[in-house]
Structure 1
Amino acid sequence: MFHLGWFLGDGFGIHPWSPTNGDGPWTGTNATDWMKPGIYVDMATSLERAGFDYILIEDTSMVEDSYNQSSETSLRRGFMAPKNDPLPLVPLMTQATKHIGVVPTVSTIQYPPFLAARAFTTLDHLTEGRVGMNVVTSVTDRVAQNFGYERHLEHDERYDMAMEWIDVVKALQNSWEDGAVVADPVAGVYADHTKVNPIEFVGKYFKCRGPLNTIPGPQRTVPVCSAGSSEMGRTLAARYDDTQIAIVKDGAAAKKYREDMRARITAAGRDPDSVKFLFIATPTIAATDEEARAHHEQALAARSSDKAIEYNLWNMSYTSGGRIDFGAIHPDTPVGEIDLSRQNGEYTSIKELFEGHEDRTLREVVSKSFQIKNMGLVGSPATVAAKMGEIMEEAGGDGFLFYLPTTRMNLAMISDGLAPELRRRGLIREEYTGSTLKENLTAF
């Protein structure tokens, strides 16, 4: 069996909302209801029915304005803004469900470690152990400037800071020993003070006395997720992750990635079986293979449209850390003439978009390349289910993280179309056996 997750790529923000923007016909009331809990609760109940381990909620905290040196495109088309804080959404999603985990994003430059440890321990209580935290370092200078920095830290230093951040959070979550909570109303003793300890942490980036001023949650240390594929991103994941998400093109690449990471985890003194790797995929599913292929071909053709090219150039400007304005580069410029060394964002993503395409123009690259792959998952539910089984057999595990536009149509397609086919093949769980996210991740 393998695990399933869902990447809520627009976070607690505006989702596909306008057919004229190329968002398709199934946008419903997203334009007016994205800030309300309805579609997210529907998502949680639908994906729990499909046996998913967790929903990962992406987040960013800025209005992007590196593309054409203006926020006009971001706000006109609703790219990455508006967006609400994801943490308050978590209890609403878990209140309507019993098993599925919810993993909101937390940035190491936005949340001081004490605030993060307290917030996630609180969520651990409110969700009865079904919360995780997707740890990110944030990408652009604009985010950093919203939190008191002049410019963002350089890429590798961001990861050094993030690893120290996790050390502090974990120390705080463990600052109450087992047995510290007595809760004896007859004796009038709630806690044994000798078992509640300051952490006295002093590092390069953080200083925290502790202890945490709330009791341990059901999971004690909240499961950590990350997505970095760079050398430093892999180092962080090997030391701390309970689940990691990765972008690969096929089963062979997934196998190579997974083997590399499992070796790193072993070298870090951890059990590689305790970490689950979920590979991001954007499947195209329809009632028949022929219909799915037609939808896929239409989607490929649409990437050459003016609106799609505008989005991809905008997205690459953001992905570069806001350091390269792709809107200022003529689209017929050969890629080999573009200075990519100025970027300070998602190094691996930019590299994979452009590497090997130096003789092509920027227009050609953005109309053909895409950051997230479909991993060959195109077809009917039966065809896609069979292909997923083949990929996991080749890779050796551990699962998939679906990244699809947030519409109720897509949720129904996965939960009521694909999931039953996967179950018929014995590829996903029939029922949840654990009561916490951590237990469900390690159930198989």
Structure 2
Amino acid sequence: MVVKKLIEKIEGEAELDFTFKNGKIEDVHIGFGFYRGIEEILVGKVPRDALVITPRVCGICNHAHLLAAVRAIENGYQSQGISIQLTSKAEKIREFTLACEVIQNHIKWFYLVILPQFEHLTATQSGENYALKASYLSSTITKALAVFAGQWPHSSYAVPGGITCDPTYVDVMQAEGFVDEAIRFFEQVMTGISFSDYLEIESVSSLSKINGDLRKLIDGLEVYGMLSTGQSYDRFIVFGKDMGRPSGKLIATSVANADIRYVEESEQKGTVAKAVTYKNRLYEVGPLARGMVAKTPIVRSLHKRYKDSLYTRIFARVNEIAQLLGYCKELLYDLSLDEPSCVLEANQTHDSFEGVGIVEASRGSLIHKTTVEKGKIVNYEIITPTQWNLSHGTSQEKGIAIRAMVGSKSIEEATFIFRTFDVCSVCTAQ
């Protein structure tokens, strides 16, 4: 039996075709039907137009697309002999704004997707105003981002060689205030314990300290026997080196280097989205992958007991909020405002080059590839995180999210597992 299900509230829409056998899901086909053509729009444009156009790929991760685009241009310039060495000021501000964007995404996902969908799955009604909580924290942290980026979404303040802003000490103090406000929310509402106490949690046995909204979800997953549900292949990959995290690929407990030369896109039937593999194998990307590759103690401890389950996947994303809030504090403390914002002259360009820009976006590794000839873009490729996690798979194995959904007892359970990957339809159909 095949049952179709339209999935909304995932930055667009997706259609899931479920195949049942003996009362359980045997297979899933994931279809994205709305093609946007951003890559084709860029052809014929000057390279710097990508700094304005690519942030429009996604309303949630637009800043990550900006950074991937500017890094692709910088990489291309460097391949042609133009030296680019960003100042620590420019690097730290880019890191800060990226971290803020990731935080706002995670908080919206937790309060607007995971908690409401879990209540729907379990037929419970808490009466909580999750939308108010999401908007409060996400708006607070994006205000910190906008101090440097000028606006959010669709900021274009990152340029080849650095950034366009020149912040003052008052700006830094303002950003610090917004970060502190976000930390108070994390303490009082999300976890119910002090920020310093939370950061000391390194093992499953220490999770008993947690209260707040995160505790409600953990207890709910335990009551409904879902702590080990939604496991996939236990393979992870990280290409970017952002937000203080290393790159690499991990199978079991062995971490190795990840080389972008082995990344390959392929067409899929029944969807406009392309699949992505690494050496013809599928890997999960995102916060769980980053936590595993970086050997984050609490993520490793959860994984040891529950593997790559939906519980481990959810917790890794929430845990990344705390890590990034602390990282934001460090970046602002170490910011050297007397350094130049940009090291390249405004008119310094190169007519022909190939460049690659990689960023760890909210949902995982984001890759931009550009080819420029005679001052115009002749080819532009965007490989998004959702393409990694939501591939149909290969002839040897099913896709990452599909493998996690197989064996589910109902469509509702499967779609909840699906949402734990923080799906983005518009990015995937770029």
Return the TM-score normalized by structure 1.
0.30
Larger radius of gyration: 1
Which structure has more relative contact order (CA 8 Å, sep 6+)? It is 2
Larger proportion of strand = 2
Return the TM-score normalized by structure 2.
0.31
